[in-house]
Amino acid sequence: MGSIVGSVAWKEGEPSIHAHGVAGDSNFNAYGGHLLDLEVGTGSMGITLFVHQKRLARGIDPCIGANVLGI
């Protein structure tokens, strides 16, 4: 895993993770995009979370029809 960047917010009363990641394979090719599932094999991985002072929530924006992050 090269990097993970995203947010943890609330959606319909449950935690909602939205993450993008970059990972490499044994041939040093890199792949990036939305992180939908993750399994750490050998070794470990550290994750740092920053807590926002306000409650972050996700919901559908009716103007654009997308699931967006709001405060």
| 1 vs 13, more confident | 13
For 31, the domain range is 3-37+49-70
Within a domain: residue 43? no
Q: What is the CATH number of the domain that holds 53?
A: 3.30.1330.80
pLDDT in tens, 13-62: 899 889 999 988 889 999 999 988 877 777 777 888 888 888 889 988 99
Q: In sequence order, what are the residues at sequence separation of 6 or more whose Cβ sits closer than 8 angstroms to the Cβ of residue 10?
A: 16, 55, 56, 57, 58
Within a domain: residue 7? yes
Q: Measured between alpha carbons, how far is 37 from 46 in angstroms, rounded to an integer?
A: 16
**Structurally, how many domains does the chain consist of?**
1
Within a domain: residue 44? no
Report the predicted TM-score, pTM, of the whole model to 2 decimal places: 0.69
Within a domain: residue 42? no
